[in-house]
Chains A and B, each alone.
Chain A
């Protein structure tokens, strides 16, 4: 025995041992343990600690026995909370066992919920990526986009001198201010050249915003000058395409005939400055000259840069705006502009169009998918009610043995959890599996988007929240509906089944399901019809058009070379069988964009602030003939309209009607200013023809005043070849593309597409909404049908005896069948009728998205109702058939 005080026993070990002991014996037993430990420790501390550790470890096996006993301990005081948990865990095990005996019910419930939760999570994953995810840049929450209030709207592009003025002239507003602008380039590493999308960025962009890099370095201020060797940062996807897994070692890429050294590769999380957009490369603004043979850096009036700032800590947006506007005014004053107001808009997603374009659709779809989840929950509730009905014996016995209503409710909630939690997990897995496929439906301005689709904490949180909400809804609803009456009464009803309260609740639930399904189905039908109308919309021109987008400028074509190229392209293309004619225009039709130019109309005085910037398209002679765009008055452009002659334009019908309402437009004059770097050059132009209206930018646009300029008077180096074929051009597209590509290997084909496909891209947002709505509608249909089937099958099972008696007394099979079908259809009819209200509401919510369809379109409503009725018929027919197969003798023998 030593005089030292031995180390006290481990508190963790004591705590564990304590947990394993009955409450009444804790004090005594722990006292023993301490004594024993002290006794052992007196001789040697090591075996004492070992002994205590062994005791603690073995108490672990005793603890579960304490927590999950078959019956509560007789005299022990157990806290209420623990009692609930203990009971719930027992119920969970029991519920799980019961489910294993009813695999079909379990499967149906699980599948319903997995579908409902899965579609919700899928949509949420998209919504999360598009509407909730910031750019992967430092301090993204403080990023703002600089905008300028103008009379006719909001300007979002600025000149380079203005950027520098703002950067130096407004201290204490931003902790950084960067500039960028998107561009395209013809790129070549090895093999054929191809078009890429990129961004010019200011020298501080990569460092100040801490752009995540995969390899190498970002661009710096040293790169941002024309004297620096040309450098570029590539996107990870692009780098992989060119170099695979080869590490970065000074490789080069040729962009528009200048060789750039690749100094870095941006991480794959960084797609560019806008959510959903993809940039392939980044080049410093200072190297614009090497890039485009043109430099806007010293042009104070050429606006081409987006400005993104990060507010200095503690500076509010309002304060920043107030401090910036004087800076803007001091810049524009010498240029004799009126005082300017600068605005700051949210920049945490960059200046992204995607959230604006599809945000409304996504929100509506999220609402619709919550409806679907509700239908799924009702399905499960319905199945639960059936199971509670089947368990009424057991519940009655439990009630008789003293289980209170709360205890029974707990039992039912446990049942709900047994189904919901696995469904939630399946849904999360399914969402992770299919997210990329769903994202393919999302497009921005017709182009497929590049989205980072993380299954992150937000998605996991949504999964958890939805699962818990579903469990609560199902459990609560089942418990409330099945325990409405005193549990003691359950015993009185005992085993003898008849159509009772539970069944009435089930019917009510089926009605709600069909009402919700009607709402969803009608919405889906409206969107389907709307897209059909968009597809069939009259464009004003022929649809048998193949479009080949070509950039001659970067290949060095100028002056006389351009018309020569056009002519050779026409000749080569017309040798392809089935080609009826070819022409060029400077913009891709149905591509959302186009050119606008300010024009003065002779004899027309614009109202104050009237927008005289009109759509303009430069087209080659023969264009209107190729496009089958009727010339209403005057003539079409001919090769006789040459550069030396006075300018001639052709206007569309809307323009003619607007500016010369009571007279001939042909022969009149107008004037416009050509946007030339050397300053405004004024042209007087004569109107030589009027053509029919056509949709040029979008299918969903009303015809706007548009004028056409001939390329024979003003050649263009970027153009789209329009080729008309005798039938659909799909089969000929490849051949036509090859013909153009073979003309000059240095001129890449930027896009080869049929007009029909271009149309599909133009309505990509609508098609996305339609596809997802259709998926939701179909899922709702299946779920509601399953719900009805389960209810009717259950009702038939419970009425086996009654039906048996009827049949024994001579009712024929047809009558019995009709009886069941009639009951089922009655529920459908009531549900659909109630759902009509919801359908009208849906129509109103969708109104702005619809095209050519009224929000109360009778065809959509009738079609949805008919489909639901058909599903209802099928869902009641199967149980009805089973009813007629009941053998009266066995039915009467059965208890």
Chain B
């Protein structure tokens, strides 16, 4: 299980979680991705993917205390787990190795 490769969307989510740190709840993750990529994210797809990542033990989640600011609703906070970080790193390394020797416009540099 831990050797699973990550899909692109999964990577994007994990990276958003990493960026957000303690504030990584659903809506924040969505906004983070939308802000950084300019792509609109489907709520259903996001939560389904988060659930899958949790099952794969890449993230863990816990319910935060209800906050007065959000109308009393509790929210689920996500946190990166070591396996998730490792998977992200693997993905990054794989890509980095593949990019190695190519310029961003796909010209060979050596």
**A residues in contact (CB < 8 Å) with B:** 17, 19-22, 24-25, 27-29, 31-33, 35-36, 51, 54-55, 58-59, 61-63, 65-66, 73-74
Contact = CB atoms under 8 A, between A and B. Distances in A.
B72 to A, nearest CB: 10
A32 B26 contact: yes
Given A55-B42, A59-B43, 11 more contacts: A20-B45, A28-B25, A28-B74, A35-B27, A35-B70, A59-B44, A59-B45, A61-B42, A62-B48, A63-B44, A73-B51
Interface string B24-68: 011100100000000010111101101100010000000000000
Contacts of B51: 22, 25, 73
B76 interface: yes
B71 interface: yes
A51 B26 CA distance: 17
Q: Which DSSP category, helix, strand, loop or mixed, fits chain B's interface?
A: helix
Contact of B27 (A32, A65, A73, A74): A32
**Considering residues B25, B43, B48, B73, which has the most beta carbons from chain A within 10 angstroms of its beta carbon?**
B43
Contacts of B27: 32, 35-36
A844 B36 CA distance: 86
A58 B42 CA distance: 6
B75 interface: yes
28 contacts: A20-B42, A20-B43, A20-B48, A21-B48, A22-B47, A22-B48, A25-B51, A28-B26, A28-B74, A29-B26, A29-B43, A31-B70, A32-B26, A32-B27, A32-B30, A32-B43, A36-B27, A54-B42, A55-B42, A55-B43, A58-B42, A58-B45, A59-B43, A61-B42, A62-B45, A65-B48, A66-B44, A66-B48
Contacts of A19: 44
A21 B27 CA distance: 13
A61 B43 CA distance: 11
Contacts of B26: 25, 28-29, 32
B78 to A, nearest CB: 11
A74 B70 contact: no
A151 to B, nearest CB: 83
A25 B76 contact: yes
Nearest to B54: A74
A19 B48 CA distance: 11
Interface of B: 25-27, 30, 40, 42-45, 47-48, 50-51, 55, 70-71, 73-76
Contacts of B74: 28
Given A25-B51, A32-B27, A32-B30, A17 B40 contact: no
A23 to B, nearest CB: 10
B73 A21 contact: no
A51 B41 CA distance: 11
Nearest to B28: A32
Given A29-B26, A35-B27, A17 B55 contact: no
A24 to B, nearest CB: 8
A31 B73 contact: yes
Given A28-B75, A62-B42, A21 B47 contact: yes
A17 B43 contact: yes
A860 B78 CA distance: 81
Given A25-B51, A31-B70, A74-B55, A20 B44 contact: yes
A892 to B, nearest CB: 41
A215 B54 CA distance: 72
**Considering residues B45, B48, B74, B76, which has the most beta carbons from chain A within 10 angstroms of its beta carbon?**
B48
Contacts of A21: 43-44, 47-48
A27 B76 CA distance: 10
A767 to B, nearest CB: 65
Contacts of A66: 44, 48
Contacts of B30: 32
A58 B48 CA distance: 13
Contacts of A65: 48
Contacts of A25: 26, 47, 50-51, 76
Contact of A17 (B44, B70, B75, B76): B44
A33 B41 CA distance: 12
B87 to A, nearest CB: 19
A191 B48 CA distance: 79
A24 B43 CA distance: 14
Contacts of A28: 25-26, 73-76
A20 B47 CA distance: 9
Contacts of B71: 31
B73 A58 contact: no
Nearest to B71: A31
Contacts of A35: 27, 70
A33 B26 CA distance: 10
Contacts of A31: 70-71, 73
Contacts of A20: 42-45, 47-48
Contacts of B40: 51, 54
A22 B45 CA distance: 10
B53 to A, nearest CB: 12
**Considering residues A20, A29, A58, A73, which has the most beta carbons from chain B within 10 angstroms of its beta carbon?**
A29
